[in-house]
Amino acid sequence: NTTTNDQSFKDDPSSFVFQEDWGEGNEGSHKPKLCILDLTTETVSFAPIDENSYNLACSEPLWSPDDNGIIFVGYPSQAYNLGLIYCIQRPSQLYFWDIKKNSIEPISVPGYSVQCPRFNPNGTYLIWLQNPVGGPHGQCVSLVGTQWPMNCLKPEVIIPIINSPCSDYKCTIDRFPGLYCKLADRCWSSDGQHVLVSSCWGFEVVGLLISVTESIAQSRPVIYKLPKLYLSSDGTTLSSSLSILDVYDDVLVVSVSSPIHPQHIAVLNLKYLNYANLSSDLNQRP
């Protein structure tokens, strides 16, 4: 056995070359590539991420609405790998792989870390989260979006990074601390005008409804707090934290809890809520 192993090492000396992986939940993943399997022809095509000055590790692929390309997050080869799952402050950009042209085009601007690309239900608007490169883990993120197709339009900031909560900030909610969150796979309302997120706010996780169109039109964050839910059958205990798990046809599946109640699943229907009153202390039964 020893002789056989020694011979295999001589035949393949590259087995000794160290390949850095992404670590912490991504062990063994070195440089993910983007590919498409054609079930009809049984062929595989790869995105040209190693060409045209692009040398990227690919993540979070998302089909474009017309199925003519794929949006993905690309990490440059010079970025360090280890700990990506918790370190959301390393350089990355959002790209579009045009399948017909077999070309890669950047969507977001450089100098940021991006994550969570999501299309609205009718495929006319693309959003994502981004924050500056460097700095602490779990930092505040901004919500950015663009019309789709872009047609040379620049991305627009919907919710900016908030450096310090203050009562006189131009926002529909007093003392808004900024977004500390990720986006659920499905996070849009059925009208394609609102995004629903769960974000840290002080010692709680709160549900927020963001009006994308109003935020852009008014050049300020237009945000509403989702109501807390009753956790006890007698209606005496309210949830302190609400995490959005999924959104479909304005029905939210959420996880609610409090310091004295473990997490459990509840359903919240946006169609029965008045958006204008969401910022007040409404109490809704799950």
pLDDT digits (tens, 9 = 90+) for 123-159: 999 999 999 998 888 899 999 999 999 887 899 999 9
pLDDT for the residue numbered 246: 96
Per-residue pLDDT, averaged over 66-81, amounts to 85
Domain boundaries, the chain: 1-158, 162-286
Residue 282 pLDDT exceeds 50: no
DSSP assignment letter at 91: -
**C-alpha distances in Å from residue 271, one per residue of 127, 173, 213, 250, 275:** 23, 21, 19, 7, 9
- CATH entry, 1-158, from 1.10.287, 2.40.128, 1.10.3470, 2.60.40: 2.40.128
Name the β-bridge partners of 74: 58, 93
Percentage of the chain beyond pLDDT 90 is 42
The phi, psi pair for 277, rounded to 5°, reads -105, 0
CA-CA distance, 225 to 152, in Å (whole number)?
34
Provide the H-helix boundaries in the chain.
2-11, 212-218
CA-CA distance, 219 to 126, in Å (whole number)?
18
Residue with the bigger pLDDT between 68 and 282: it is 68
Per-residue pLDDT, averaged over 82-101, amounts to 85
